Structure 1
Amino acid sequence: MPRGSALSQSLIDTAHALADAARAETLAHFRNPGLDAANKAAAGFDPVTEGDRAAEAAMRAILAERRPGDGVFGEEYGITRGSSGLTWVLDPIDGTRGFLSGTPTWGVLIAACEGTRPVYGIIDQPFIGERFEGGLGVARYRGPQGEAPLRSRQGVALKDAILFSTFPEIGTAQEAARFREVSARARLTRFGMDCYAYGLLALGHVDLVIEAGLQRYDIAGPIAVIEAAGGIVTDWQGGPADEGGRILAAGSPELHAEALALLSGTAAEGAA
């Protein structure tokens, strides 16, 4: 798909219209005493609320009007095939557990993808009023304190790095052990921020985000934002992370390589 300036601006304008619509729908339900959640999981707890469904429905309505030829892949309503070669990947509320709990660390994730590859993305936090966007020549933050370019932190070694993950219980027992190897060498490890941690990485406040078990809609938007900010996102073997799975996001290629050696097991093999 050619990406001329007019087409790029059209995609960016559409993405912001989606984010604005999702803001309105999610805030209508956030911290509502009557808010309830259904459980999508056969085992455990994977909540979905009316805020999730309403936000995705609103974004899909805009796409049907503005870009009817594009595909859509959303967490709540699945896949709608398109003919243009472009697919919008939508997570109407990333961090529904936080949303349900009243914490402001959830977000709306939007990505425009060519095939599976994100070319532009938004991480939006409606309650705080923060928006991180990246791709198509843009790397920008907008929030209550104004506007700033996104730039991930460079020149940070693992021993000085700030590491985030959503859950302390990361993946399988083996995956958790690999994560702990990285965490033990990092300066600081924090948990529970969902997609907001990826925004902080792009803004230069966090150095690493490591997770397992992600879906495509969990990571497509953050990939575009972080790469536009100068960071790198792969799976735990250094391959593409476009489809989700085990995710390693780093502010710089050097820090990524240091963490990747531990996650992939090559550091231990080299030392043996």
Structure 2
Amino acid sequence: MTEYEEFAVDLAREAARISLPYFRGACETVDKGGAAGFDPVTLADREAEAAIRRLIADRYPAHGVIGEEYGEDRPEVEHVWILDPIDGTRAFIAGLPLWTNLIALRTEGRPIVGVIGQPYLDEIFLGGPSGGRMLKGGGETPLRARACAHLNEALIATTDPDLFTGAELGAWTQVRAAARLARLGCDAYAYAMLAAGRIDLVAESALKVWDWSALVPVVEAAGGEVTNWRGAAPDGGGQVLAVGDARLRDQALVALRRAAL
């Protein structure tokens, strides 16, 4: 592992140390969505991000940070850590082990190291310059997305179709109709399963930079691709398409481009 990869794993383990004791236990939940609809945040989210930020400040005081809970600190510098302390807070408060700790390092505008951690399952999915691997129980397993040449053979996923707009929902419905099987409700864990060769395609919208940055290096290190719905690099529009086999990208984009931002 590179220095930054090792540090990202250390951050994931710190996030796990803070968040796991709250899972399926007493944990204060606050609705930050207001009129826009229920958007929960927990004490575990806030404490985990605060702990990660302290470690970054101690180790790399010149680096910037962008986090879901505490905002931006020098986002314009060369090296920026991007944090989602608990992605899948709804799963977290429902007692479902599909939430994750997401940590990315962006260098010169591009995510180069990413970690998807699932503490309850003792899994850390790492992607970076040294490749992709899943860390579990002291061992390592290489990550490799599987071959899938045709959408009608694909297992696909999205978190919740209700999150799509009207045009987006129509595009997703067309992709889903063509696919073999669709699974819902996995949040970022779906991208970990894509990198592990279990899922072939994930499509989502309305993602923030902390939702998708960690996913890109993990999926790419496993041989997959992550784009927006126009086929370019993910951006502030929040529409993300991840595929394990590049041959699926253009097939899915036939539908998704019609709703691309």
Q: 1:84 to 1:257 in 2, by over 3 A?
A: same
Equivalent position to 1:36, from 22, 28, 51: 28
Equivalent position to 1:260, from 231, 243, 253: 253
State the shift of 1:243 in Å. 3.6
Q: Which amino acid aligns with 2:147?
A: Q
State the shift of 1:143 in Å. 2.5
RMSD: 1.6
CA distance in 2, matches of 1:73, 1:251: 28
Of stretches 93-102 and 237-246 in structure 1, the one that deviates more from structure 2 is 237-246
Tell whether 2:234 aligns with 1:241. yes
Count of matched residue positions in the alignment of Structure 1 and Structure 2: 258
Identity between Structure 1 and Structure 2 (%): 43
Q: 1:83 to 1:206 in 2, by over 3 A?
A: closer
Structure 1: gaps (5+ residues): 1-7, 267-272
Q: Contact conserved, 1:170 with 1:179, CA < 8 A, in 2?
A: no
Q: 1:244 to 1:67 in 2, by over 3 A?
A: farther
Q: 2:185: which partner in 1?
A: 192
CA distance in 1, matches of 2:75, 2:161: 38
CA distance in 1, matches of 2:213, 2:67: 11
Question: Could you give the per-residue CA deviations for residues 138-195 of structure 1, whole angstroms, max 9, x where no partner exists?
Answer: 2101225942111111233100000100002132111100000000000001100001
Q: Contact conserved, 2:66 with 2:75, CA < 8 A, in 1?
A: no
Structure with the greater alpha carbon radius of gyration: 1
Describe how 1:80-91 pairs up with structure 2 within 5 A: 80-81=73-74, 85-91=78-84
Q: 2:121: which partner in 1?
A: 128
Structure 2: gaps (5+ residues): none
Q: 1:98: which partner in 2?
A: 91
Q: Which amino acid aligns with 1:139?
A: G
Tell whether 2:31 aligns with 1:27. no
Q: 1:220: which partner in 2?
A: 213
State the shift of 1:17 in Å. 1.3
CA distance in 2, matches of 1:64, 1:110: 15
3-state SS of 2:187 partner: coil
- TM-score w.r.t. length of structure 2: 0.95
Q: 1:244 to 1:52 in 2, by over 3 A?
A: farther
Of stretches 210-219 and 73-82 in structure 1, the one that deviates more from structure 2 is 73-82
Q: 1:5: which partner in 2?
A: none
Of stretches 191-200 and 240-249 in structure 1, the one that deviates more from structure 2 is 240-249
Question: Could you give the per-residue CA deviations for residues 111-130 of structure 1, whole angstroms, max 9, x where no partner exists?
Answer: 00013310010000011101
State the shift of 1:82 in Å. 6.3
Q: 1:269: which partner in 2?
A: none
